[in-house]
Amino acid sequence: MTAFAEAASPHVMNTYGRLPIALERGQGVRVWDVNGKQYLDALGGIAVNTLGHNHPRLVPALQEQIAKLIHSSNYYHVPLQEQLAAQLVERSGMTNVFFCNSGLEANEAALKLARKFGHDKGIEKPVVVVYEKAFHGRSIATLSATGNPKVQAGFGPLVEGFIRVPMNDIEAIRKATEGNPNVVAVFFETIQGEGGVNPMRIDYLQQLRKLCDERDWLMMIDEVQCGMGRTGKWFAHQWAGIVPDVMPLAKGLGSGVPIGAVVAGPKAANIFAPGNHGTTFGGNPLAMRAGVETIRIMEDDGLLENAAKVGAHLKAALERELGSLPGVKEIRGQGLMLGIELTKPCGALMGRAVDAGLLLSVTADTVIRLVPSLILTEAEADEIVALLVPLVKALLAE
């Protein structure tokens, strides 16, 4: 493995279990470290680099924007906000957008919307339904909504006002909320990312939409990781033909430039009034330009269709090579958001993959996560398989 650990700064807070490499540049779905070693990037900055690295149309657009205006206070109108909001509204079937800087911030805003929605109805202590294995962020409120005791440990007392239920079980949510007048919203990921690439079933999503309508709850769908074309539709919930009331976005929306958004439908669009919520950097012209150009390029280059086609090709190849192996529990996901669950912990694969020239991640201890850029070709998908399969077989043989 390339030695870099010794050169790492002693002044950076120790919050990541980093691998001993430092990346210097990228082109398409390949990156190079400071020593010149090349890697095939099957992680895409954790589902962030939608257009890959050094995209020939994104880079000049961002350079042009930097030369014009990087930041503008939200005291003033930001025309690019209007432009990006209109694009998101059109593609989501929703009505209004609030811009922030990250998925955590978007999820935090969604939780504030849910509470204000409850208070406006006269509910003093609003309750939000959340899910086992969910991940919504690391602020105190989003951490409380998250369903991972390991990341919550050491940060109590957590925020109250959450009921936790299992995925894909409509009777469980009915039972958990029965007779509770304080429930105001249901909050979930269409496909859980950090929780192990766990998809919500289409019929369950449809049942949930119906339940929210019956009970006057906000349906809040965290599309931070699974949205922005990753599954082959703009947003993963669209496979179920439903429209949420609140939809946090981030990650792939800016192709690497920090950005977050909360898209709201009619039920939630007017909950916030001036002074209820805000941000200094959110909606800045540079991030907005990144979002506008990302959507433009995705459409021009047919990247939703590409994500569906190449994702299906990659999943089929993984199933062919690994699916029947004892030790491989399940290969799941959709488009270019795939998880390979093993029957044993596989964290060691991250370092071994780096040695082999492949970037990926392991989540929920036993799940290999692949979330490459949406520009991935079938030939590059085959390369991922060729590099990954021997590593998995070797690990399972240990």
Query: Which long-range contacts (C-beta less than 8 Å, at least 24 apart) are formed by 387-391?
Result: 387/40, 387/353, 387/356, 387/357, 387/358, 388/42, 388/318, 388/353, 388/358, 388/360, 389/321, 389/322, 390/356, 391/349, 391/352, 391/353, 391/356, 391/358
Spatial CA neighbour of 297 closest among 26, 54, 31: 54
Using CA atoms, how far apart are residues 93 and 247, in angstroms rounded to an integer?
11
Q: Is residue 116 annotated as a catalytic residue, yes or no?
A: no
Q: Give the CB-side neighbour count of residue 119, counting CA atoms within 13 A.
A: 10
Q: Is residue 251 annotated as a catalytic residue, yes or no?
A: yes
Q: Which of 98, 99, 117, 135 is catalytic?
A: 135
Q: Can you point out the beta strands (E) in 224-336? A: 246-249, 260-264, 328-334
Query: Which long-range contacts (C-beta less than 8 Å, at least 24 apart) are formed by 295-298?
Result: 295/84, 295/87, 295/91, 297/51, 297/55, 297/57, 297/58, 298/50, 298/51, 298/228, 298/229, 298/374
Residue with token string 């071994």: 352
Phi-psi domain of 358 (left: phi exceeds 0; alpha: psi -120 through 50; beta: other)? beta
Q: Which of 222, 233, 272, 315 is catalytic?
A: 222
Query: Are the CB atoms for 92 and 263 separated by under 8 Å?
Result: yes
Using CA atoms, how far apart are residues 321 and 319, in angstroms rounded to an integer?
6
Q: Is residue 33 annotated as a catalytic residue, yes or no?
A: no
Q: Which of 116, 233, 251, 315 is catalytic?
A: 251
Using CA atoms, how far apart are residues 392 and 307, in angstroms rounded to an integer?
24
Catalytically annotated residues: 135, 222, 251
